[in-house]
Amino acid sequence: MSHNIQQTTLGVLARQYLEYLEIERGRSLKTIENYERYITRFLAASGAKEPADIDDEMIRSFRLWLNRQNAGVREGRQETLKKKTQNYYLIAIRSFLKYLRKRGVESYAPEKIELAKIAERTIDLLTPQDLRRLLDAPNGDSVKELRDKAILELFFSTGLRLSELCALSRDIDLTRDEISVRGKGEKVRVVFLSEDAKKAVSAYLKKRTDMDDALFVRIGGLEKGSPLGIQKGRSFSDGESMRLTPRSIERMVKFYAAKAGIMDKVTPHILRHSFATDLLYNGADIRSVQMMLGHSNISTTQIYTHITDSELRSVHKKFHGKGK
C-alpha cells in the first residue's frame, strides 16, 4: 500500500503506524485508507514535522480548521463538516498518538483530545407492516425474483452487514440453522437462519444454472426495467466473477421498497436495524444482540436500546411497588 505522507519524522512514524494497523491489528484496507487521509490532512494543515511539535495550540487550530471546512451545498445552504465526521479525524489522531506513546516516542498526550459532542443518533426503522410488504415484494418465480427474495429474507434473518452478505459463497449448508461469517476486523461469528430464509435461499439455488462460487450473482439477460441496470443479454467472460456488488444490492432494496409502496428510505442497513430491534422487542438481552451483530463494543449496540425504552413504562407500572 502506498502512503502519501510527507517525508518528515512524523511522516515516517505515520507510515509505520498505518503499516502497524494493517499487519499487526488486521484492520481493513478501507479503514487504513481513511486513517491515512485523516492523519495526512492533520500533518499538512498543522505543519507538524516532529512528534514534539504537537501542542495544545496546534490541536485547537486544527479543530477550528476542521469546523470551517466546506462540506458542499445542501438545499441551497453551504454546509460545514458534521461533528461526527470531525470526530473521525480526532479519533485517528488520538490513536496515532497512543501508538507513539506505546513506542516510547514523546509527543502530545492522546487523552487531552476530547471529541466533539454530537446529537444522539437516531435510527430509521421499518414498521412491521412495511417490513412484511418489503419481504413479500419479490413474488415471482424467475431466478432474479427468487434471488432478491433470498437476499431480503437473509438480511432480516441474520442482521448481516451489506459487505458480509455480498461475500457469502454458494456452499452454504441449508441443513443447519446457522452459518459462520467473517466480519469487520476479520472476526468470525455465527448468524442464524430462519425457516423463511432457508426456504428462500434453497428455492433460488435450485433455479440457478451457473457455476459461480458466489451465493448472490448477477443474472445475464435480465428483463427490461431491472433495478440492477445490467444490459439484457450480457455475457460474462471466463473467470469473471458474477458476484453482486454492494451498490447493486442497495439499488435492489430501493426498487422493492418502492414496489411495496414504502415512502421512507429503505437500505440494507435499515434491515439490520430491524433485525436488532425485533430481537430486543421480543426479549433478547443486549449482549446476545451484540454478538449476533458482530459489534466489538457493546456501546455500539446500545443505540438500539432507546428504541425499546417505550416498553419500560409498562414494565415499571406492572412490577414497581408491588411489595408495599
Which DSSP symbol is given to 230?
A: P
Question: Has 304 been annotated as catalytic?
Answer: yes
Catalytic one among 83, 98, 184, 254? 184
Distance in angstroms (rounded) separating the CA atoms of residues 324 and 320: 9
Catalytic one among 17, 89, 256, 304? 304
Question: Has 295 been annotated as catalytic?
Answer: yes
Taking each helix axis from N to C end, the angle separating 29-46 and 83-102, rounded to the nearest 10 degrees, works out to: 90
Mapping DSSP onto H, E and C, the string for 11-76 reads HHHHHHHHHHHHHCCCCCHHHHHHHHHHHHHHHHHHCCCCHHHCCHHHHHHHHHHHHCCEEEEECC
C-alpha cell at 239: 473467470
C-alpha cell at 152: 431480503
- The residue whose grid cell reads 465526521 is 85
Question: Has 204 been annotated as catalytic?
Answer: no
Distance in angstroms (rounded) separating the CA atoms of residues 305 and 281: 9
Which DSSP symbol is given to 169?
A: B
Catalytic one among 15, 147, 198, 272? 272
C-alpha cell at 228: 440492477
C-alpha cell at 46: 498543522
Q: Which amino acid is at 223?
A: E
Catalytic one among 15, 161, 198, 273? 161
Distance in angstroms (rounded) separating the CA atoms of residues 165 and 189: 13
Q: Kindly report the number of other CB atoms within 10 A of residue 158's CB atom.
A: 25
DSSP string, 265-298: ---HHHHHHHHHHHHHHTT--HHHHHHHHT-SSH
Question: Has 269 been annotated as catalytic?
Answer: yes
Distance in angstroms (rounded) separating the CA atoms of residues 110 and 131: 44
C-alpha cell at 56: 495544545
Contact between 109 and 97 (Cβ < 8 Å): yes
Question: Has 149 been annotated as catalytic?
Answer: no
Strands 70-74 and 77-80: antiparallel
Question: Has 37 been annotated as catalytic?
Answer: no
For the annotated catalytic residues, the residue numbers are: 161, 184, 269, 272, 295, 304
